[in-house]
Amino acid sequence: MGLVGGMLVAAGLLLLSIFNPPAFGAVRGFFSEITTPVASAFTWVRTSVAGVPEGVSSYVNVRGENARLKKQIADNELLVERARTLNQENRHLREMLKLHDVSTDAVVVARLVASSMGSTRRYATLNAGGWQGVKAGQPVRQPDGLIGQVVETSPNTARVLLIVDPESIVPVRRTRDGLPAIATGRGDGLLDIRSASVATMIFQPGDTFVTSGTGGIFSPNIPVARVIRTSRDIAVAQPSANPDALDFALVQATFLPDPTPTPSPKPSPSAKPKAGKK
């Protein structure tokens, strides 16, 4: 019945198109209005379904490219940081070599390979020792200021007592008037400055201190510290050379060499007694 009905409708439309073209045009427009949205919907669905694999592929490619670019940025940042660190080390080394060239008492420029920062005892280790001329008692410094003093040596290493250690004592003088003082470590990265005389010394924030040369160990005029706050007759000072950013250091000979021991006189040979006459 459906096939016969369809054939009758088709025949009717054929006759209508032959004998009454305007009416056939109206019927055709009516059916177009009905079928066009349906056809458009099917076309959109077909196009969307066909574009799904391409969209998924594009998403995967974009995500992979994004991950690759992030990794490249991270690698570039690491390279930039390494370049900055290397440039800073090279700058410090050039400053140390320049200081070595102008110093008349320089022993060796060495790298500080270890430092005790986690306790109140503050030591550092140099990668130079007795074979490079380093001896116990010698001062260690940077261009910015004094670092400490060698306390132990081995053939290729040396242990340095930093000036911020509580056992460190450095004779200093104030630069603006030359008044003598003593700088001792606090164990917390700072220094205490005390008067070296019985008279009370008035300290002021900003006062700077350098080595005085007293004691014959440290050469005069090496920067040591700057006062940051005061408390009665004691001032708290910041070291001129930052102990937490040490890389290279210059070992110097002691300011006054050890006195040459006076040789003891050799005993004169005693005279042999003459043989008596028989």
Q: Do 112 and 95 share a structural domain?
A: no
What is the predicted pLDDT for the residue at 238? 94
Q: Do 113 and 247 share a structural domain?
A: yes
Average pLDDT over residues 236-264: 79
- Name the packing angle between helices 21-102 and 2-19 (round to 10°): 100
Q: Do 130 and 64 share a structural domain?
A: no
What is the predicted pLDDT for the residue at 91? 61
Provide the domain count of the chain: 2
Residue 232 lies in a domain: yes
Q: Do 243 and 115 share a structural domain?
A: yes
Average pLDDT over residues 8-26: 60
* Burial bucket for residue 197 (CB in 10 Å: 0-12, 13-18, 19+): exposed
Q: Do 247 and 112 share a structural domain?
A: yes
The residue among 154, 198, 197, 189 whose CA lies nearest residue 168 is: 189
Lowest-confidence segment of 21-30, 64-73, 116-125, 244-253 by average pLDDT = 21-30
Residue 97 lies in a domain: yes
What is the predicted pLDDT for the residue at 8? 62
Q: The domain containing residue 68 runs over which residues?
A: 12-102
The rounded mean pLDDT for the chain is 77
| Backbone phi and psi for residue 155, each to the nearest 5 degrees, phi listed first | -55, -40
What is the predicted pLDDT for the residue at 4? 62
Residue 259 lies in a domain: no
Confidence of residue 195 (pLDDT cuts 50, 70, 90): confident
The label of the residue with tokens 């690759």 reads 68
Residues 6+ apart with CB under 8 A from 220: 210, 211, 212, 213, 255
Q: Do 94 and 170 share a structural domain?
A: no
What is the rounded distance in angstroms from the CA atom of residue 199 to the CA atom of residue 126? 39
The residue among 120, 184, 110 whose CA lies nearest residue 140 is: 110
What digits encode the pLDDT tens for the residues 31-59? 566 666 666 666 666 666 565 566 666 66
Residue 267 lies in a domain: no
Q: Do 172 and 134 share a structural domain?
A: yes
Q: Do 240 and 145 share a structural domain?
A: yes
Confidence of residue 256 (pLDDT cuts 50, 70, 90): confident
Residue 87 lies in a domain: yes
- Beta bridge partners, 125, equal 114, 159
Q: Do 145 and 82 share a structural domain?
A: no
Task: Identify the domain boundary among 53, 82, 102.
Answer: 102
Residue 16, SS3 per DSSP: helix
Confidence of residue 278 (pLDDT cuts 50, 70, 90): very low
Q: Do 217 and 113 share a structural domain?
A: yes
